Structure 1
Amino acid sequence: MKTIHFNKTECGVDFLINVLHDAGIAATYMLPEIHNSDYFEIIVFKRGNGYIFIDNRKIPIIDNSIVFISPFQLKKWEVDLDKLDFTILIFKEEFLNEFFADKLFTYKLLYFYQYDHPATLNSDQDKIQGICNILQEIKSELIAPNLDSAHIIRSLIYYILHRLNRDYAVENDLPFQMDSANHAYAFKKLLEEYIKEKQRVEDYSELLGISRISLNKAVKKQFHQTATQLLKNRLLTEIKNQLLYSGQSISEIAYGLGYSEPNHLMRFFKTQTGITASEFQSGYQNGSS
C-alpha cells in the first residue's frame, strides 16, 4: 500500500503546511487504489462528484462540502477528476505542535480522529468561498514569505481550524468547549497509539495516572459518551480496517489484537454492528457498505 509523504521540497514551501488548488495535482492526491498519507487534510469542494472511501466508510463528494482526513487513515477515491473544483489544506502534526505549543491540539478538533460522526461538513457557497479566500491568503504567504509570514499564517490557520470546529460541533450537536485538564484529549491520542495492544479503559487510566472514574467523567463531559464507548468505537474501526485491507484471516486479526479466541472478536463485532465479520466483508465487496 502506498503512503504519500509530506515533502517540503516537492511542495516548494518552508513550512510543514501547504495549500493546493490545481486540477493537475488531483491525480497525485486522489488515487483510485487504497493508500494513506502522513499528514492531515482538509479538502474544500466547490464542485464535487463521486465518492471517497475513508477507512471503511463510503462518503459522497458533493458541491459546497468539506472532507476531513487524519494521518494514516486508509482511503481511495472514485471520482471524475475533471469535474472537481477543490482546494486542499495539508499539514503535519508537528506544524501545529510547533506553532501552538500544544501537543494535543489536533485531538481537540472534533473532525479529526472522528469515528462516531461524519468526516464531512456540508456548507453553502458563500461560506465555502470565504474559506477558500483564507486558504488562498495562506498560500500567498507560503510562496512569497516575509519576516512576519509565520505570524500571519499562524493567525489564519488558528482561525480557520477553530471556525470549522465550531461549525462541525453545531452540525453534529457536539460540545466544543475545551477540557482544561486535557484528560479526554490525551485519552483520544493514546487510543490512536495503543488500540492494537490495549482494549481496556483501565489500561489508559493507568497510562494517564488518573482513576477510571476521573477519566470517564472527563470523556463524558467532553465527548458526550463514556470512555468505554469511545474505546469500543475506535476498536471497531480498527477491526473493520483489518478485515477489509490486511489480507489476514479473522483468526489472525483476533490474535494480533490480543484476543484469546477468535470467537471473542466475532462476538464483539456482531454486538457492535448487528452483522457478522464475514457478512461485513461480503457487503463491502458487493458495494453495500
Structure 2
Amino acid sequence: MHQMGQTDFFTRPGPLQQLRQLLCCSLLGLAPLAQAAQLQVGAGSRVDFGDATVRLGCADLHVNGSAAASASTLNGIATLNIGAAGGLQAGTAQVALSGDFVRSGSFDAGGSTVSIMDSCAHSISRVSGGTVFNHLSVTSGTGKTLELAAGQSTTVLGQLTLQGAQGRLLRLRSSAAGTAAQLSATAQQSVQFVDVADNRATGEVLAFGKPDQFQSQARGNLFRWFQFDAQGQDQGGGSGGSDIRRVPSLSIAWTATLGALLALAGMARMAALRRKPQRSPLRRF
C-alpha cells in the first residue's frame, strides 16, 4: 500500500504541476483525469493518505480501489464518489467537499469528520442513502440545498451540524418531493438557519422546539422535527409556540427494577400491618 507524505498537494495544475502530478500519481496508483478534473484511485490500487494534506482544487475524487484516509486532511473536493468495487476507510481524517457524496461501495466512517460547504459553484449537495457518518457538518452562507435520498436513511453517529445563514437558509430536501428522507442523529446536534421539508428524524428528535427558536422554517411533511410528532402532527400549536415536553423514557431494565421495588414496598407494608397488636375488647361489668 502506498502512503502519501505530509507535504503532498494536488491542486488545479499549471504546466509544471501537471507533469509533477502525472509522475506522482503514476507511482501511487492514482489517476488524474482531464487535467485534474478528477483524481482517481483505480481499481486494484491501494492508497494510504497517511497524514497528508491533499488539496484537490475543486477536482472530483473517485475511489474505485482501496483507499485509507487515515489521519489526512482531504479538502477542496468537488464530488466524492466511492465506486461499487471501491472502499474508503476514513480513519480520523478531515474530509471537505462541496458537491455530492456518492457511495456505491463501502465507506467506513471511523472517527472522521465529513464537511459539506460552499465552494466550486455547487448549489446542491446530494448524499447517497444508507451512508453512515461519524461527524457530519453541512454549512452554507449561500442557501445551498442538501438533498438526502427519499425513503432511505442517513445516519450520523457523532456530531451533526446543519448551519445556514440569516436570509440564506440551508435547505434540507428529499430527492423525491413528498417522500420523506430519513435522518438519524444523536443528541449531539447543532441546527441553525435551516429550511426543512420531507424529512423524518429516526434517532433523536431534531431541533426540538419551535422552528423560530432555531431561526428556521418548517416546510411540511416533517416527522420528529421541531414540534412535529412521529405522525407528522404539529403538537405545538403552530410556529408560534410549542407545548411539547420531553418525557424521559425508562429502559425495560429500569422499568422492571422499579416494579420490583414497588412490590417489595407493598409486601413490607402488609407485613407491618400483620405485626400490629390488636386491641382487646372492653369488658362490661
Same fold (TM over 0.5): no
Q: Higher helix fraction: Structure 1 or Structure 2?
A: 1
Q: What TM bracket, shorter-length normalisation?
A: under 0.3
> Where is the strand percentage greater, Structure 1 or Structure 2?
2
- RCO greater where, 1 or 2, for CA within 8 Å and sep 6 or more? 1
